[in-house]
């Protein structure tokens, strides 16, 4: 009997998802397997909302942004259902068996890898692909979506240069990446940002202002500051560690009251952080006497046509995924290893965010060319 394979896309969308669906789908069909799509991530599998994937639906999607399947951040074990949050893992497993699936392919970032691993522990044949513009999934050279987002952010920095130059201004450009600095660092270096601030290196606003003033002394009255959305000042980074430690201690002591209090404090801290780029811009204006403006690139970085690199990567990971299914290798992520692909056990992937190491060549080069990193 022909093998029947399910596919879902979960977490934030990212360029290249449709190329991956096409890569998986066309390879599977060529090898006489049947495929079925589940809509909106794990929610669609729970609610049994499917999409037929055949030659017709797979045609002309290679260059499309987003995902034809839709996506969501819903987790099988914590799914909002009506006014409640419920563990829907069993329903998901039942639907998997009802469709008589040989395997389920989950395409997503760090959160999706964790959710897929939970399903693998329930006995489902799960296999994942790494996608996210953040590039923070461990055990893979790169994730698809990153290259496109890097191009978009770099182009934005290029364009911001001419307006910053004309008005003799500072422009602080906020770049996505969650708690990892890959996207801000890569686009900052490629776009020639004068300052790059990433979560891995807490910054001192005074040092940033000093670097901008140095440029003023040399006769350059504008600066581009590329700041990752997760970047923290030294003061806030210390506060974050304090709160995290308090949370761990409250959990260990099984002190419910203390846990509630620290959870609330963390919520307030996160809310304050959502304004950190605006605050930094105001601080720089005050400290340098230059006008400063903020540009938040936001979801613009996730939309639209994937780059050629992302299409290529997603296609080759998609077809490699079918090779592993043919071999019956499950509970794995198909990771990028140079021009090849590797099967990495999901237990080695989950719970580890890949962040920028302090000796990474991109960081070393940024320092070499005189970029201020805020430290």
Q: Which residues partner with 50 through β-bridges?
A: 38
Say if CB 110 and CB 132 are below 8 A apart.
Answer: yes
User: Does residue 75 touch ligand F6P according to CB under 6 A?
Assistant: no
Question: 174 or 322, CB closer to ligand F6P?
Answer: 174
Tell which positions 316-355 bind ligand F6P, by CB under 6 A.
Answer: none
Confirm whether 194 is a catalytic residue.
Answer: no
- Positions of E strands within the chain: 4-9, 34-38, 50-52, 79-81, 84-86, 103-108, 126-130, 169-175, 195-197, 223-228, 291-296, 332-337, 340-345
Exactly one of 99, 169, 240, 302 binds ligand F6P (CB under 6 A); which one? 302
Contact map string, positions 228 to 267, toward ligand F6P, x by CB under 6 A: -x--------------------------------------
Q: Which is nearer to ligand F6P, 26 or 178 (CB)?
A: 178
Q: Which of residues 9-28 bind ligand F6P (CB under 6 A)?
A: 12
| Nearest distance, CB of residue 362 and ligand F6P, angstroms | 18
Nearer to ligand F6P, 307 or 319 (CB): 307
The distance in angstroms from the start CA to the end CA of the chain is 61
Q: Residue 6 Cβ, how far from ligand F6P at the closest point, in Å?
A: 23
Residue keyed to tokens 């609330």: 264
Regarding 109 and contact with ligand F6P (CB under 6 A), the answer is yes
Min dist CB 229 to ligand F6P, Å, is 6
Judge whether 307 and 148 are in contact, CB under 8 Å.
yes
Exposure string over 265-274, b if 16+ CB within 10 A, otherwise e = eeeeeeeebe
Residues in contact with 63: Cβ distance below 8 Å, sequence separation at least 6, in sequence order: 18, 305, 306, 311
Contact status: 199 vs ligand F6P (CB under 6 A): no
Q: Are 108 and 74 a contacting pair, CB within 8 Å?
A: no
Span from 29-37, 132-140, 204-212, 312-320 in contact with ligand F6P (CB under 6 A): 132-140
CB 316 to ligand F6P: min, Å: 22
Nearer to ligand F6P, 125 or 307 (CB): 307
Exposed / middle / buried, residue 351 (Cβ in 10 Å: 0-12, 13-18, 19+): exposed
Instruction: Determine which one of 13, 40, 74, 134 is catalytic.
Output: 134
Q: Given its phi and psi angles, is residue 219 left (phi above 0), alpha (psi -120 to 50 degrees) or beta?
A: left
Give the binding range for ligand F6P (CB under 6 A) out of 127-135, 202-210, 219-227, 354-362. Answer: 127-135
**Is 210 within 8 Å of 193 (Cβ atoms)?**
no
d(CA 52, CA 37): 6
Rank residues 72 and 89 by Cβ distance to ligand F6P and give the closer one: 72
CB of 175 to ligand F6P, least distance (A): 9
Q: Within positions 162 to 191, which residues make up the interface with ligand F6P, using CB under 6 A?
A: 176-178
Shortest distance (Å) from residue 152 CB to ligand F6P: 12
**Which residue lies nearest ligand F6P, judged by its C-beta?**
176
Buried b (16+ CB within 10 A) or exposed e, 222-254: bbbbbbbbbbbbbebeebbeebeebbeebeeee
| Residue 305 DSSP label | P
CB of 342 to ligand F6P, least distance (A): 23
Q: Among the candidate windows 22-30, 130-138, 217-225, 314-322, which touches ligand F6P by CB under 6 A?
A: 130-138
Residue 17 CB, shortest distance to ligand F6P, in Å, is 12
Q: Which two tokens stand for residue 310?
A: 């992302």
Question: 27, 132, 281, 288: which one contacts ligand F6P (CB under 6 A)?
Answer: 132
For helices 308-327 and 17-30, the axis angle rounded to 10 degrees is: 40
By annotation, the residues acting in catalysis are: 134
Interface ranges with ligand F6P (CB under 6 A): 12, 109, 132-134, 176-178, 229, 302
């Amino acid at each position: 009997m022909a093998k029947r394979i399910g596919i879902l896309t979960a977490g934030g969308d990212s360029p290249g998802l449709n190329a991956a669906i096409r890569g998986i789908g066309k390879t599977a069909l060529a090898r006489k397997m049947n495929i079925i799509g589940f809509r909106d991530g794990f929610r669609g599998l729970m609610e049994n909302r499917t999409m037929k994937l055949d030659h017709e639906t797979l045609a002309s999607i290679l260059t499309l942004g987003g995902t034809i399947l839709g996506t969501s951040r819903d987790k099988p074990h914590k799914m909002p259902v009506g006014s409640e949050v419920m563990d829907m893992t069993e329903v998901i497993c039942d639907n998997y068996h009802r469709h008589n699936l040989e395997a389920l392919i989950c395409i997503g970032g760090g959160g999706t890898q964790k959710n897929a691993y939970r399903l693998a522990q329930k006995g489902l044949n799960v296999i994942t692909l790494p996608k996210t513009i953040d590039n923070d999934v461990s055990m893979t050279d790169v994730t698809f979506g990153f290259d496109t987002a890097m191009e978009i952010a770099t182009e934005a920095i290029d364009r911001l240069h001419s307006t910053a130059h004309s008005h003799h201004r500072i422009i602080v450009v906020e770049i996505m990446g969650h708690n990892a600095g890959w996207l801000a660092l890569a686009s900052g270096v490629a776009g020639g940002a004068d300052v790059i601030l990433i979560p891995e290196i807490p910054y001192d606003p005074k040092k940033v202002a000093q670097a901008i003033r140095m440029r003023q002394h040399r006769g350059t009255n504008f600066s581009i500051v590329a700041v990752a959305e997760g970047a923290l000042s030294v003061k806030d980074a210390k506060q974050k560690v304090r709160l995290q430690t308090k949370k761990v201690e409250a959990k260990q002591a099984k002190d419910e009251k203390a846990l509630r209090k620290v959870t609330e404090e963390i919520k307030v801290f996160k809310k304050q952080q959502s304004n950190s780029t605006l605050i930094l811009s105001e601080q720089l204006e005050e400290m340098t006497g230059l006008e400063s403006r903020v540009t938040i690139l936001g979801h613009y970085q996730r939309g639209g046509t994937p780059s050629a690199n992302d299409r290529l990567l997603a296609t080759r990971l998609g077809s490699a995924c079918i090779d592993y299914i043919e071999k019956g290798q499950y509970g794995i992520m198909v990771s990028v290893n140079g021009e090849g692909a590797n099967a990495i056990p999901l237990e080695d992937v989950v719970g580890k965010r890949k962040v920028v190491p302090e000796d990474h060549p991109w960081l070393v080069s940024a320092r070499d060319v005189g970029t201020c990193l805020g430290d």
